[in-house]
Amino acid sequence: MMLFGLSQTRKITIIATCVAGILFCLPNMVSKELAEKFPSWLQNTVSLGLDLRGGSHLQLEVDLKAVNAEFLSNLLADVRGALRKEHIMYLNLRVEGRESNPKLFFDLKDISNKDKISSIIKKIDSSLLTEVSEQGQVSITVDPIAAQNRSKLIIEQSIEVIRRRIDETGTKEPTILRQGNDRIIIQLPGVDDPQEVKKRLGKTAKMTFNMVDSGAQNTGHAGPDSTMMDYIRGGEEEGAHKIAVRNQVSVSGDNLVDAQATTDPQTGQIGVSLRFNNVGARKFADISANSIGKQFAIVLDGKVLTAPVFRSAIPNGNAEISGGFRTIREANELALLLRAGSLPAPLKVVEERTVGPSLGADSIHDGRNATVIAFLMVSVFMFLGYSMFGLFANLALVFNMVLLFAGLSLLQATLTLPGIAGIAMTIGMAVDANVLIYERIKEELRAGTAALAAIEAGYERAMTTIIDSNLTTLIAAGVLYEFGSGPIRGFAVTTAIGISVSMFTALSVTKLVTAWWFKNKQVQTLPI
């Protein structure tokens, strides 16, 4: 006989799910040494967040204004070339307002050319907006929507670069999130001293390959298309030694595929080998072939790292930086930064906090006590209110907790203090479905319905209410996860998993246990 609509296949599925939950929850209940002996697919555990494990919290500000100013500065050569091509005379081409609202300005010598300027500038970049005053002063800005989209991409790229750099340092389970329009939150559980991480994150490692302006180098004064930059040797700046570097970037560091520290086996000279992608290799080959005997500069973060001379063409896209490193560690650090990629914008640490492990231990202790107390009080309430059926609900509550931690382990989720609060709340909500079912069974019994029919009616007629109530909670958890950050997301994750699991245990596990009990006892009166 198929009791309560439970087929044999469904029974096996329920039992298999509970057994799988026990297996995946097990690594969280044994020592780390013992868990490492489990199969690789069974070693996932719930990670502890910053507020539980202790560690470092950093809030970074992305300098988007500097990026916008740099974008306009890079257009100077293009604007100059476009105006010359159209034979339009101008004066004082410059970028102003770098710290607030950067704009590119120039003055027209012939005011009659003002109607041509907008179309000329649009050909350079469609996102540029042009205004021409009656006196012939031209101001060029970036369209606000285009600037907003570019800022969004810069933030996303910065987060990805930060993630790669932190992963390179061996830091496990970092939390990296966007906050607001220009902030990034970094949480590093288990990292007590974030100074080394800050040092690496603070470097943009923006590398470019630029030709040296030999004419300006001889005079000692930068021309309109070049900039005097400090030369770095052995990791130290030599302010008295400057090199005139052309502003036009010949090869971007974005074309870099790999960077590795090297040591010449014969001379012992330390260097960094570079390998470019196809685009970078082709550009580098063309430049080296057309510039033999000419000096070029490898610019890192606005300073010249080295300025060798092309002795021959480099067709394969492999180059090497050498002569600027005193130790292999310096070369390794540079290679690490270059492999991780260039930050598209400077970063500034605006907030830094360190959470001690003792505070985390107190939070774990208090959270565990709260969860245990909630579990015991709910269990006592269910037993006193529904007798034997209350015990069935309590058994389902145990599997609810097991499956919850199994789900968190499979997702490799990070458990935070608000997450523990979500678990404690889930305990109360987990039995809510059972309460609805049992109250419906009581109503059926009071109406004179037979025991078996009352149980079946209780599960069937309470189904709609249970789904509606839990679905609204899942929607709320989804909204919290989408728009929240850090601990808020942790609360949303534990709540969502807990609610989903509670629906399974209330509608399946308790149903299976009740069917087994009813079949073996053959009772006429229900103890509820």
CA distances from 236 to 109, 240, 303 (A): 46, 12, 11
User: What are the tokens at 292?
Assistant: 């033999």
Q: Both 367 and 514 in a single domain?
A: yes
Q: Both 339 and 365 in a single domain?
A: no
Determine, yes or no, domain membership for 156: no
pLDDT at 172 over 70: no
Determine, yes or no, domain membership for 364: yes
Mark which of 136, 158, 189 sits at the end of a domain: 136
What's the confidence (pLDDT) of residue 237?
47
Domain count, the chain: 3
User: What are the tokens at 356?
Assistant: 């001690």
- What's the pLDDT band for 17 if we cut at 50, 70, 90? very high
Q: pTM of the entire structure?
A: 0.58
Q: Both 345 and 364 in a single domain?
A: no
**The total number of residues written for the chain in this structure:** 528
Residue range 230-276, pLDDT digits in tens? 887 544 444 457 888 988 888 877 777 777 888 887 888 888 888 88
pLDDT at 19 over 90: yes
Determine, yes or no, domain membership for 208: yes
Determine, yes or no, domain membership for 72: yes
Q: What is the CATH number of the domain that holds 346?
A: 3.30.1360.200
Q: Both 326 and 453 in a single domain?
A: no
Determine, yes or no, domain membership for 90: yes
Q: Both 375 and 261 in a single domain?
A: no
Range of the domain at 511: 3-54+356-521
Mark which of 81, 109, 136 sits at the end of a domain: 136
User: What are the tokens at 339?
Assistant: 């492999």
Q: Helix/strand/coil (H, E, C) string of 82-130?
A: HHHHCCCCEEEEEEECCCCCCEEEEEECCHHHHHHHHHHHHHHCCCEEE
Q: What is the CATH number of the domain that holds 377?
A: 1.20.1640.10
Q: Both 327 and 398 in a single domain?
A: no
What percentage of the chain exceeds 70 in pLDDT?
89
What's the confidence (pLDDT) of residue 345?
77
State how far the Cα of 335 lies from the Cα of 319, in Å rounded to an integer. Answer: 13
Determine, yes or no, domain membership for 439: yes
Determine, yes or no, domain membership for 526: no
Q: Both 410 and 323 in a single domain?
A: no
Q: Both 512 and 373 in a single domain?
A: yes
Q: Both 385 and 331 in a single domain?
A: no
State how far the Cα of 423 lies from the Cα of 219, in Å rounded to an integer. Answer: 71
Q: What is the arithmetic mean of pLDDT over 407-415?
A: 84
CA distances from 251 to 13, 124, 210, 276, 285 (A): 59, 20, 7, 10, 10
More confident residue, 171 or 505: 505
Q: Both 347 and 364 in a single domain?
A: no
Q: Both 118 and 228 in a single domain?
A: no
Residue range 421-449, pLDDT digits in tens? 888 888 888 888 888 888 888 888 888 88
Mark which of 318, 335, 351 sits at the end of a domain: 351
What's the confidence (pLDDT) of residue 419?
84
Determine, yes or no, domain membership for 158: no
Q: Both 336 and 361 in a single domain?
A: no
